[in-house]
A and B are shown apart, each in its own frame.
Chain A
């Protein structure tokens, strides 16, 4: 894979996000159909990654975890394609549960690139009291497998995760589940095009889920 440093424009700040992707033009019936097709494919039999796949894809997921745990949202944003999504269904037992369909159900998070930008700008306002003081997180991912897909030029990687979160005056919380990352080439690099976070307890209540998973 390309050196991870190639992903990041060192001068890219939250001010650049302010002006980026201010319209929402690609979420439509076809996009929701794509996400339903993805969900069906996530139940496929995964194969452990080859060394090349580890270098290209697992390394990117591990670095994504690292960036989120450092609250480096501006670099995190640069790992994603121009027409990306970050999606956490408010449903459990995926991919089998029909309650997942985001076209007809609200989610814990359904961010296109614009809303991902909104989320970062919101976190950076300095007055988001739910993140003052901030959450410190530890992401741990394991069980990486490549899942077959019928879509050419895309790579689907499934993994299991544990996430611990600590915020001042609050006990440490643990979240767990599986993730699906769909990778696509853009500007000569593999980038994350669609990320799905399937929480073990997505249907239940959560305390202050304002940090990024």
Chain B
């Protein structure tokens, strides 16, 4: 469990050092994106339209924040992660096409994402689910917001952050997938546990 402090944009070499269970703190820019934003990003890629933000070496955060507008400035009130599994449909393409290096979410992601992390050198990290107030503490400013027509939770929020974390590496660039390993181990115990409960 080594700890790393990384600044955006993040290089391929920095990603290759990371292993599952390592802890990362990110300083710089992170961009929120949930289902609708991922879909739209890929539509833009298909149509060869440029995105409102460059994600090369960037960080995507699965998050729909609580925000408040004060004197024309957005303030982030709470901003923990959302369940990443919903983005499994799109993330491998986002990594491949847009050059994203770190995905932040919670709950784990599947094989397609793990393969893309290995092939294109990216990591999937988790921020503690539900820790919305803790996350907001590390967000210093809303640099901008795009695609607000998708609604506040689904919009593309561009946050300036300082030591955003602790983020735990759950998929590394060798393709190891920590949460999937935990679930495979749990599945192996299923029959034994059901037998103990008297279920044949």
Q: Do A and B come from one complex?
A: no
